[in-house]
């Protein structure tokens, strides 16, 4: 009875929102604005300050620029756009709400399942790409391009992640884990996805936002995995009505990546190497098993979420 009452209150509250423009257009314009600000504006400013040779750049200045870019070109536009489009309902649009501890715990449990699932997906995907590249020249051309882009990204992140003291590592965590978790989630799972939820079905809102999220990261081998992870973050935001939960999940995912870098060196949490043919069957089995487990988890959470509130 209380759950129905809460649901009705949420629906009534959202019904009072009178956007200054169609919400679907607002989300699209937001994506375009942030893309050009962050990727092009930030990229040009980056080259003007640091040049093309990152080995000669001041590492801490590089990290500070990364933090400033996230805040100025992603977080600030999200807040400004929310204010312009939704006027007095910013907290509702950006999902400003404190979740219960049980809610956080259950979604962290899902993250424990999805991370190894995505690793298996990457292995299966890369093996298939390798086989196609050996048969079709066009796929080989695409693979070579993706390899070059992947190496460039690894080199850039390697420079940012490298730390020689505990204080420097804390700074790296701020740059790589905390700042992106807050800025990206407020924009993508807050403003963009919430705007799309008014314009279309929640599933489509989550899918479109997640695809845009993966495109923003320019990670050729990680696009499918990033989209899948982003869809889980979108589901968490929609189900909990709190932006803090996807922020926490995003932070944990990035934090584990930082820690794994220091433990295993120049290796990503989601490894993009090509598996051997004899290992392919094992990864297929692992992928199918984890996918089934993850969907069971989503079904359970969807059906029993009121218990965690």
Q: Using one digit for the tens of pLDDT, what is the confidence trace for 229-254?
A: 999 999 999 999 999 999 999 999 99
Residue 265's CB is within 10 A of a number of other CB atoms, namely 8
Q: Given a cut of 90, is residue 261 above it in pLDDT?
A: no
**Cα separation, 131 vs 195, whole angstroms:** 41
Closest to 294 in 3D by CA, of 222, 235, 216: 235
What's the pLDDT at 274?
A: 63
Query: 3-class DSSP state for residue 243?
Result: coil
Range of the domain at 235: 2-308
pLDDT digits (tens, 9 = 90+) for 156-167: 788 888 888 888
Mean pLDDT to the nearest integer, 121-136: 90
Number of domains into which the chain is organized:
1
Residue range 32-73, pLDDT digits in tens = 999 999 988 988 998 888 887 777 788 899 999 999 999 999
Of the candidates 212, 204, 199, 156, the one whose C-alpha atom is nearest the C-alpha of residue 24 is 199
Residues 6+ apart with CB under 8 A from 255: 173, 177
């Amino acid at each position: 009875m209380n759950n129905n009452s809460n649901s009705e209150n949420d629906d009534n509250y959202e019904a009072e929102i009178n956007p200054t423009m169609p919400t679907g257009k607002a989300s699209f314009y937001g994506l375009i604005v942030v893309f050009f600000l962050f990727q092009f504006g930030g990229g040009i400013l980056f080259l003007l300050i640091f040049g093309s040779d990152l080995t000669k750049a001041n590492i801490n200045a590089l990290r500070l620029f990364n933090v400033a870019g996230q805040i100025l070109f992603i977080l600030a536009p999200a807040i400004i756009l929310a204010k312009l489009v939704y006027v007095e309902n910013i907290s509702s649009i950006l999902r400003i709400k404190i979740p219960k501890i049980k809610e956080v715990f259950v979604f962290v449990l899902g993250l424990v399942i999805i991370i190894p699932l995505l690793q298996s997906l990457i292995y299966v995907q890369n093996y298939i790409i390798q086989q196609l590249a050996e048969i079709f020249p066009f796929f080989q051309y695409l693979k070579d391009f993706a390899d070059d882009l992947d190496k460039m990204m690894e080199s850039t992140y390697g420079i940012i992640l490298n730390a020689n003291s505990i204080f420097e590592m804390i700074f790296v965590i701020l740059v790589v884990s905390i700042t992106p978790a807050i800025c990206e989630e407020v924009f993508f799972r807050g403003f963009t996805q919430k705007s799309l939820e008014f314009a279309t079905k929640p599933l489509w809102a989550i899918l479109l936002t997640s695809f845009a999220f993966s495109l923003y990261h320019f990670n050729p081998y990680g696009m499918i995995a990033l989209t899948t992870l982003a869809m889980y973050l979108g589901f968490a935001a929609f189900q909990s009505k709190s932006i803090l939960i996807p922020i926490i999940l995003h932070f944990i995912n990035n934090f584990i990546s930082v820690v794994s870098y220091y433990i295993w060196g120049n290796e990503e949490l989601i490894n993009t190497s090509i598996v051997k043919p004899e290992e392919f069957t094992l990864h297929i089995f692992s992928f199918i098993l984890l996918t089934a487990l993850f969907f069971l988890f989503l079904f359970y959470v969807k059906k029993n979420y009121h218990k965690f509130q």
